[in-house]
Amino acid sequence: MSKANYYLQTPRKHEVTSFDRELVLGFLKEMVRIREFESRAEEQTLAGNVVGGIHLAIGHEAVAVGVMQALRREDYVTGPHRGHHLVLAKGSDMKNVMAELLGKATGISGGRGGSMHMADAETGLLGVNGIVGASIVIATGAAFSAKYLGQDRVAVAFFGDGGSNKGQFHESLNMASILDLPAIYVCENNEFAVETAVSYSTGVDNIAERGSSYRMPGIIVDGLDVLDVYVAAKEARQRAVQDSRPTLIEAKTYRFKGHSIGDKEDYRTKEEVQERMKSDPIFKLKHRLEEAGWLSEQQWNELKSEVDREVETAVQFALNSPLPSAATALHHVYAKEMF
């Protein structure tokens, strides 16, 4: 058993021009896709079209895009309740994602799951999850599977700062360490679990430091900087497939919106949020691309309108899709209907 030692790594700044231009423009577009999707999802919620509560990932785009772009399509991903960005970044068709929020038969989970229960067998998305902590154990099993089958595949679990205090975090990271699993644990630390500040709930300065309990590198990345996330995820993927060793990544980000739609947010001030939004990950990347001369206003406008078209198409698709058929309510409980 190889026992890579724990070390703590802090955020790194990468020159945007040290990457391939198309790649980085792709990052930008993916992030804008998520942002626009989320805005329209909010609008659809306020219009009363969404079934159930949703948790917007505005502010988390760079984490999803940075990690997913470092993965291959065949890699597995699990996520928590806040997961639209993960589903989209892993490659699901936006139309089916929006349709799921509206509880439609064409939804990615056929309307059975809604926002918190989206999965896509096509993209390796083993599901986002309504239970905090569940994503962590499930990805651990997928990593076990990849190794067992000798596949060049990794499994990535996303979870929040709140999730890092669940027993499942501890049991899974220990398991991955002792079994040398190709797993990547990505904590999206947005500083809050509903109203509860991470500084209150979590007895450690950086969640990444918890890697030390499992002989696992603890990598802190700037979760508002897609390039930092991307490079760290690439390295983690490499460690997973080459050394078959897991990594804990803590992406420091911030939740720009309420916990869910309707949140009164009386646990933080408007000013705090305004201040933090100055580090908007999309704005920041756009600015760096412009400075590098890699993005003209026209290109930006084209990108925006392409995304707008895609999102609008998705919204229309979702609105016009049929509801699930009541007759299917007892399907898929078991392989064959039993009750």
Round to whole Å and give the CA distance between 30 and 34: 6
CB under 5 to 8 A by kind: which of ligand TPP, its own copies, other proteins, none does 215 bind? its own copies
Q: Site residues for Mg ion, window 1-40 (CB under 5 A)? A: none
Among 55, 95, 104, 210, binds its own copies (CB under 8 A): 210
b/e burial code for range 319-328 (CB count within 10 A of at least 16 → b): eebeebeeee
Pick one of other proteins, Mg ion, its own copies, none as the site partner of residue 330 (Cβ within 5 to 8 A by kind): other proteins
Binding partner at 82 among Mg ion, other proteins, ligand TPP, none, C-beta below 5 to 8 Å by kind: ligand TPP
Total residues contacting Mg ion by CB under 5 A comes to: 4
Q: Hunting for tokens 């205090």 — which residue is that?
A: 165
**Cα separation of 104 and 41, whole Å?**
14
130 binds, among Mg ion, its own copies, ligand TPP, none (CB under 5 to 8 A by kind): ligand TPP
Stretch that binds Mg ion, among 16-24, 184-192, 217-225, 284-292 (CB under 5 A): 184-192
The binder of 31, among ligand TPP, other proteins, Mg ion, none, by C-beta within 5 to 8 A per type, is none
Of 197 and 292, CB closest to its own copies:
197
C-alpha angle 34/218/176, rounded to 5°?
90
Q: How far is the CB of 42 from other proteins (least distance, A)?
A: 16
Q: Give the DSSP H or E segment for 158.
A: strand 155-160
**Binding its own copies by CB under 8 A: which of 170, 257, 268, 284?**
170
Q: How many CB atoms lie within 10 A of CB 51?
A: 17
216 touches its own copies by CB under 8 A? yes
Per-position b or e across 294-315, b if 16+ CB within 10 A of its CB: bbeeeebeebeeebeebbeebb
What is the contact surface with ligand TPP in residues (CB under 6 A)?
55, 80-82, 130-133, 160-163, 190, 192-194, 255, 259
Of the pair 82, 245, the CB lying nearest ligand TPP is at 82
Query: Residue 251 class from Cβ within 10 Å (0-12 exposed, 13-18 middle, 19+ buried)?
Result: buried
Q: If you search the block for the tokens 């078991």, which residue do you land on?
A: 334
The binder of 163, among Mg ion, its own copies, ligand TPP, none, by C-beta within 5 to 8 A per type, is: ligand TPP
- By CB under 5 A, residue 75 contacts Mg ion: no
Q: Is 244 in the site for Mg ion (CB under 5 A)?
A: no
What residues numbered 150-169 form the site for its own copies, per CB under 8 A? 165-169
Report how far residue 135's alpha carbon sits from residue 114's, in angstroms, rounded to the nearest whole number: 17
Give the residue, chosen from 44, 45, 190, 244, that forms a contact with Mg ion under the rule CB under 5 A.
Answer: 190
Instruction: Calculate the alpha carbon distances from 282 to 33, 54, 61, 205, 318 in Å.
Output: 11, 22, 8, 27, 26
Identify the helix (H) or strand (E) that includes residue 193: strand 192-193
Residue with tokens 């890579």: 4
Cβ-based nearer residue to Mg ion, 78 or 190: 190
Do 120 and 92 touch, CB atoms closer than 8 A?
A: yes
State the residues that interact with its own copies by CB under 8 A: 165-171, 173-174, 177-178, 200-205, 209-210, 212-216
